[in-house]
A = this chain, B = another copy of it.
Amino acid sequence: MDSQTLLERFSAGDPRALARAITWAESGHPAGAELLRSLRGRGNSRVVGLTGSPGAGKSTLTDRLIEEARKRGERVAVLAVDPSSPFTGGAILGDRIRMMRHHQDSGVFIRSLASRGALGGLAGAVVGALALLEAFGFERIFVETVGVGQSEVDIARVADTTVLVLTPAAGDAVQAFKAGVMEIADVFVVNKFDLPGGERVIQELKTTLELAPARPGGWKPPVLSAVGSRGEGIAELLDAMDQHYAHLKEHGLLEGGRLERARFEVESVIQEWGRRRTREGQDLIAQVAHGELTPEAAAARLLGNPELSR
- Complex CA gap A33/B151 in Å reads 31
A83 proximal to B (CB < 8 A): yes
Q: Is the CB of B299 within 8 A of A269?
A: yes
A303: B residues at CB distance < 8 A? 270, 303, 305, 308
Please, which residues of chain B bring their CB within 8 A of the CB of A304? 305, 307-308
A270 in complex: contacting residue of B55, B92, B149, B302, CB < 8 Å:
B302
Contact B146 A148 (CB under 8 A): no
Contact-residue bracket for chain A: 35 or more
Q: How far is the CA of A111 from the CA of B305 in the complex (A)?
A: 35
Query: Which residues of B lie under 8 Å from residue A295 when comparing CB positions?
Result: 124, 127, 262, 265-266, 268-269
A85 to chain B: closest residue by CB: B180
Q: Which of B55, B86, B118 contacts A175 (CB 8 A)?
A: B55
Q: Is A252 an interface residue (CB 8 A)?
A: no
Chain A 42-70 near chain B by CB (<8 Å), digits 1 or 0: 10000000000111000000000000000
| A179 interface residue (CB < 8 Å to B) | yes
The A266-292 residues at the B interface (CB cut-off 8 A) are: 266-271, 273-275, 277-279, 282, 284-286, 288-291
* The one of B88, B150, B259, B284 that contacts A178, using a Cβ cutoff of 8 Å: B88
What separation, in Å, do the CA atoms of A308 and B151 have in the docked complex? 26
